[in-house]
Amino acid sequence: MPVFYGKEVASRMMLGTAQYPSPAILADAFRRSGAGIATVSVRREAGGDQAGQAFWNLIQELGVAILPNTAGCHSVREAITTAQMARELFDTNWIKLEVIGHSDTLQPDPFGLVEAAQALSDDGFEVFPYCTEDLVLCERLVKAGCQVLMPWGAPIGTGLGLNNLYGLRSLRAHFPDTPLVVDAGLGLPSQAAHAIELGYDAVLLNTAVAKAGDPAAMAEGFAKAVEAGALAATADPMEPRDMAAPSTPVLGMPFS
């Protein structure tokens, strides 16, 4: 199972908490997924008796690790301020860092991301950066103190799957000892299984589950796919080949 900043997590699935039809469906999706981490947007939470308290109570009842995020932040200052609020609200140094640089694709701002990651790491945060599969960017994030990398599979909410297999394979090979999580763009359980087969440690989902006709069933489907991918990754799978090879031996068989 994946280990993030020295903490072992009981599942390779991480699940977002936004866009579900109801709190009951959200809770059911988490139960059937077995997800070990819930990502929570700071902007949905409020203290005391304010509107966010009921949501926070629900998240606590899930019994999973909380990973607050800086979703929707478009500047370094905004992301840092949001992270500091998250630490006060959720009493954790974990933060999923998002610094959005492009409003249409929601692609991360690589320059702002590294700057914010360095500042937060220096302030004692344990940063989970939402990034692209660019090797140079990821090297700089690691140097900035990030012990986890979370490259996208495709733009957030698109369900396109793993758009750049070469880049994702290269990233896994380049950082063999760094936990890697495919974050964003997955739409089907088969895509999640593929990510784990590539050697990724976990996947993070939200829209694919929350917007399904039956979110709980989809969450369970992803959970089973992730388990299948993990089994395949450790089973020494066969190498693909260009030519057909008979599965039944032909030696000793009669020919007319």
Q: Which residues are catalytic?
A: 96
* 163 marked as part of a ligand binding site: no
Adjacency order of strands within the sheet including 150-151 = 150-151, 126-131, 94-97, 65-69, 37-41, 13-16, 202-205, 181-183
187 known member of a binding site: no
Place of tokens 């991301």: 113
Burial 54-78 (b: 16+ CB within 10 A, else e): ebbebbeebebbbbbbbbebeebeb
Any idea how long the chain is?
Answer: 256
Please provide the DSSP assignment of 203-252 as one string.
EEESHHHHTSSSHHHHHHHHHHHHHHHHHHHHS-PPPP-SS---SS--TT
Amino acid at 250: V
Q: Show the tokens assigned to 252.
A: 């000793």
Contact criterion met (CB below 8 Å) for 132 and 154: no
Dist. CA 54–CA 49, nearest whole Å: 9
Look at strands 13-16 and 7-8 and give their pairing: unpaired
Bridge pairing between strands 202-205 and 181-183 = parallel
Is 185 annotated to bind ligand? yes
Q: At what angle do helices 135-143 and 110-122 cross, to 10 degrees?
A: 20
- Cα separation, 27 vs 46, whole angstroms: 20
Binding residues: 157, 184-185, 206-207
- Please give the annotated binding residues for 1-deoxy-D-xylulose 5-phosphate, written as ranges: 157, 184-185, 206-207
